[in-house]
Amino acid sequence: MLKPLLQGIAFMATAATAQAAPIDLIIDSDPGADDVVALFLAMASPDELNIRAITTVAGNVRLEKTSRNARLACEWAGRDDIPVYAGAGRPLVRKPIYAAEVHGEEGLTGVEVGEPKAPLAQGNAVQYLVDTLGAAKPHSITIAMLGPQTNLALALVQRPDIVKGIKQVVVMGGAHFNGGNITPAAEFNLYADPHAAEVVLASGVQLTYLPLDVTHKLLTSDARLKQLAAVNNQASQRVVDILNAYITHDMDLYGMPGGPVHDASVIAYLLKPELFSGRRIHMSIDSREGPTFGQTIADWYGVLKQPANVMWVQEGDAQGLFDLLSARLARLE
């Protein structure tokens, strides 16, 4: 069960729980093991999520590999109808960094990786975002941001007015109470391109952050991995194989009893926001060179008296996440 937050903190569940029409969704991602699990969860939920496209960015591995892995995820899920656009191959300002020590040299461990059948969609992810958001009805498109925020930042710099087409941006990224996972202060996605995250934050778009503070509470366990395996189809077996290889890094590093599936939390939040709780706060991002580079400064207690600019998700129902993932994987082959 969810632990209650401080007295008086209420999570504002969005209309997603009650809406009849699916959420118009663009997934911006850098697959990555947990990204692929998130993509499976999203692609198995067509009644709730109308995935317009997947846009890829360099992050966990180089762009050509994240773009290949996104197309493989579509192929494995039987969703070749979803176009995949390749985007930014490097951050706005800083030198590129990758996370091969966590995700492997190919971005995926535990499964065989080959060349997908479907090609990339023609055109660039940044231009796709500019064109699609620019033509969208006001506040109609949700963006699930699973990696560095470079693509959206470049689009916003090119056409600031496209912010009008965005309903919300839901970010896997940041850390406050938990501490970082790439430095003591910074979470990887923000550290990889803090300048891009600053652009998105400054745009005024409605932002929700699912930081390490919550994803490090949504852990695998032997029972939960067995639960996923019991689905007993190709999709569930791939997820179990990916997770068994992926979670060992964090379990060894942090001494945790299981591993987090970070990016899947964003999709779970869109599907079942009642699984999560948090509150609106003021957040800023440190892009200064030094030991706090890439840190998200989350003013949880409101000591700065600044206007809230993000929803900061702090708690989540771990078993609820894995129940949802199991149920949705059962819809795939």
Residues carrying an active site annotation: 262
DSSP string, 186-223: --HHHHH-HHHHHHHHHTT--EEEE-HHHHTTSB--HH
Backbone angles phi, psi at 84, to 5 degrees: -120, 120
Dist CA 61 CA 57 (whole Å): 9
What is the H or E stretch that residue 141 is in? strand 141-145
Q: Which two tokens stand for residue 86?
A: 């390749």
SS3 content of the chain, % helix, strand, coil (to 5): 40, 15, 45
Dist CA 199 CA 196 (whole Å): 5
Dist CA 66 CA 108 (whole Å): 10
Q: Do residues 308 and 33 lie in contact, with contact meaning Cβ atoms separated by under 8 Å?
A: no
